[in-house]
Amino acid sequence: MRPSPAPTRPSGLTSPSQFGTTTIFDHVAGPAAGGRRPTSALETCQIGVVLRAVLFVHGVLAVGLGLAAVDGQDWLLRFASATAVALPGTLAWLVVVCALRRWIVRMTDVGQWVLVTGLGALAGAYGMWQVGLTGLATPHMGLDGAPLVAGAALAAALFYALRLRARSQLPAVTAARLAELQSRIRPHFLFNTLNTAIALVRIDPARAEAVLEDLSELFRVALIESGSSVTLAEEVELAQRYLAIEQIRFGERLKVTWELDARAGEARVPPLLLQPLVENAVRHGIEPAPQGGWVRVRTAVRGGQALISVSNSLPPAGQAAPPGHGMALRNVKERLRLMHDVAAQFSAGPERDTWRVHVVVPLKS
């Protein structure tokens, strides 16, 4: 077997090291390892969290005031007055907690509860002060401290709900990671890669070492590293390593194009996001086509969002691979929802003779 010409290694990757100097399973935990950060119950900056918090507070007010109202008109007047206090107070609480979240998470549980409920009371007072400035205060609002008590109680309820939400993400992310590993690290990919390296050992040791380095990095990230998020730049590098291996295996049959915006690389995404997408592209677009095909990965920045596109050619009719179960796509979509909530967008489907996956995430979160 004569290997195909060596593809150009992706830019940004380190050159092959000398044998004996490569560390396969080096792992550094904490922020130094790619800037990863732990999941926090105080991610009140997310649009989805803000919307749910506002709806929850106003829903509680609507129900509570409905029990005290004499009739529908009285309820409407009371609810309008309470909303004038609750809306600015709720938004102020969310903004302050978002700004202080990195400091709050270092506190004890008791300290967190005291602080967030105290901020809730202050937020209630702030809302009342805002209404007072407009001169729209009504007798229904009262000055007996009710806004402070209500603000503290609602803040405690919101904090409890956020903690439950954060805890519910842990088993979901773990299950998603297992599902993704089952769909991604396929035995025949491992065997093909090792066979390629064996064939290169005698005729091109440097390329053989490069293949094994890329393979070890893929497994290191998949099996060793942990963290709630990584940068898009890290995900791009991992996808480049994967496609570098596949280019050696497929040779001229696989053409890869990278159109990358360096600014988009700062966006935070779930770990192992891009690799399953480019693997799907190779498996379903390139592998079944005797003439091969192309894979294109694009990133861009638009309106404070990072746009990610993975597209590939489709094989001619009658040569398509058996349809998959969609596990990798569901996995990516679910982990995006867990991390970015409604701020993330995901779509996948055919466009003429092309299959395209489109992902949008906030540039800053």
- What is the rounded CA–CA span in Å between residue 128 and residue 96? 17
- What is the rounded CA–CA span in Å between residue 173 and residue 169? 6
Per-residue pLDDT of the chain (365 residues; tens, 9 = 90+): 334 344 444 433 333 332 232 222 233 333 333 333 344 556 777 778 888 888 888 888 888 888 877 788 888 887 888 888 888 888 988 888 888 888 887 888 888 899 989 998 888 888 888 776 665 555 555 556 778 888 888 888 888 888 877 766 665 555 555 455 445 555 556 667 777 778 778 787 887 888 788 777 777 766 555 556 789 999 998 889 889 888 888 889 999 999 999 999 999 998 888 988 998 898 889 988 888 899 999 999 998 899 999 999 998 876 666 666 677 788 888 888 878 878 899 999 998 889 999 999 998 76
Q: Is 153 left (phi over 0), alpha (psi -120 to 50) or beta?
A: alpha
Q: Are 286 and 252 spatial neighbours (Cβ–Cβ below 8 Å)?
A: no
Residues 6+ apart with CB under 8 A from 168: none
CB-side neighbour CA atoms (13 Å) of 226: 8
Res 174: pLDDT: 52
Look at the block and give the residue holding tokens 């090291």.
17
Q: Are 214 and 244 spatial neighbours (Cβ–Cβ below 8 Å)?
A: yes
Res 214: pLDDT: 77
Strands 268-269 and 230-231: antiparallel
Look at the block and give the residue holding tokens 């990965």.
297
Q: What are phi and psi of 230, to 5 degrees?
A: -135, 170
Domain boundaries, the chain: 47-167, 185-362
Fold of 185-362: Heat Shock Protein 90 (3.30.565)
CA 300 to chain CA mean position, Å: 16
Kindly report the pTM of this predicted structure: 0.58
